[in-house]
Amino acid sequence: MTVARVHAPPPRRDEARGRRVSPVRTTALLLTAVAAMTLLTLSYGQVLIRPTDLVGALLSPAANADAARIVIDLRLPRVIAAVVAGSAMGLAGVLLQALFRNPLADAWSLGLTAGGQFGAALVVVAGGVAFAADVVGLLRIFAGVSLVIGAATGTLAVALFMAAAAKRVTNATLLVMGLMLGFLSQGMMSVVLHFTNRNQSRIFASWNDATFSAVSWDDLPVLLTAVVAGCLIALVRMKALSALLLGETYAASLGVDVPRLRRWVLGGAVLLVAPVTAYCGPLLFVGLLVPHFARQVLGTARLGAVMPVAAAGGALLTIVGDFIVHLPWQQHFLHLNAILAVVGAPAVITLLVRSRGARRLT
């Protein structure tokens, strides 16, 4: 009688090391690092705030007016925006990569970010026509709600087109369409900005480099509301999206309405990406890099484990980038997207080459 050999599956990387990577512990460590970077960013910059003055400014602003003006009025909304934006972009990357089962899917590759950029460019041109001789008026329009509406409208327009196309094409075709829409938006943006003057171009360039400094306390409620709504959609649709990771046929056999799920996930991604793009500019590489980092660290693609780690990792990445930007440099040439690109591009290339988890999401 022949005895068949049963080959056990190879141990996972974390099991081979004799330890189990906990999503809860990993998220807690990342959040601790975010909290530490928050205190460091609030204290250190062009003006150094001592720890005692920082505590006094936060607990008793009236008694520490000078420190409170710097910490509460200038730095704290910027830090909150960095944390919220990084978390939103990281979570959006997880959603989009899971939806398309493609490690290269994110807000940029699907054209959502470029749509927001084009909408903002239209606002700049319209403001230049209305305030041709009034630079202050142009700045006021650009920094106001009109920019938010323009960027959000551009992002939403691309997402609605993608949601409509999702009824007729496959995930791979939809991803290619997103790339083409992104290139189209970039080309149209260049054409539109060709007719702007120097002041308009400078204003748009400062926003296009991405920054959290323009976010005020009045902006945070809108930003937070949209991001929380996107997070709720992600949580509600997490189980169905997890089934989709194993294929559309498998998800449909479990009763998942795949076209409807696509529209919901794209809607959640818009709620996460659009307000961040409008208030902070187009953030690069966060949505692409952080999901890979989460899967690599955890050794799994389970959305319930990856989502919180990606959100915390995105927050840490953006607040570190913001801290570097606002160091007391003698010449201020560093921009947030430049730092994210320097960190993000080599990291993504390394993960794609070395990690099997980056090639597949199941």
Return the higher-pLDDT residue of 205 and 87.
87
| Spatial contact of 209 and 337, defined as CB atoms under 8 Å apart | yes
| Percentage of the chain exceeding pLDDT 90 | 27
Q: Is 291 exposed, middle or buried (0-12, 13-18, 19+ CB in 10 A)?
A: buried
User: So what's the pLDDT on residue 291?
Assistant: 93
pLDDT confidence tier of residue 84, bands split at 50, 70 and 90: very high
Q: Is 164 left (phi over 0), alpha (psi -120 to 50) or beta?
A: alpha
CA distance 339 to 320: 10
Tokens 């999901």 -> residue? 291
pLDDT 10s digits, 319-329: 999 999 988 88
pLDDT confidence tier of residue 304, bands split at 50, 70 and 90: very high
Return the higher-pLDDT residue of 130 and 285.
285
User: Residue 16 pLDDT more than 70?
Assistant: no
Rounded to 5 degrees, φ, ψ at 255 are 90, 15
Q: Which CATH code of 1.10.357.10, 1.10.3470.10, 1.10.268.10, 3.40.640.10 fits the domain covering 21-36+63-359?
A: 1.10.3470.10
User: So what's the pLDDT on residue 135?
Assistant: 45
For the chain, give every domain's residue range: 21-36+63-359
> Average model confidence (pLDDT) for the chain?
82
For CA atoms 278, 281, 282, 287, give the dihedral sign: negative
H or E segment at 45? none
pTM: 0.84
pLDDT 10s digits, 157-187: 888 887 778 777 777 787 788 888 888 887 8
For CA atoms 129, 130, 136, 138, give the dihedral sign: negative
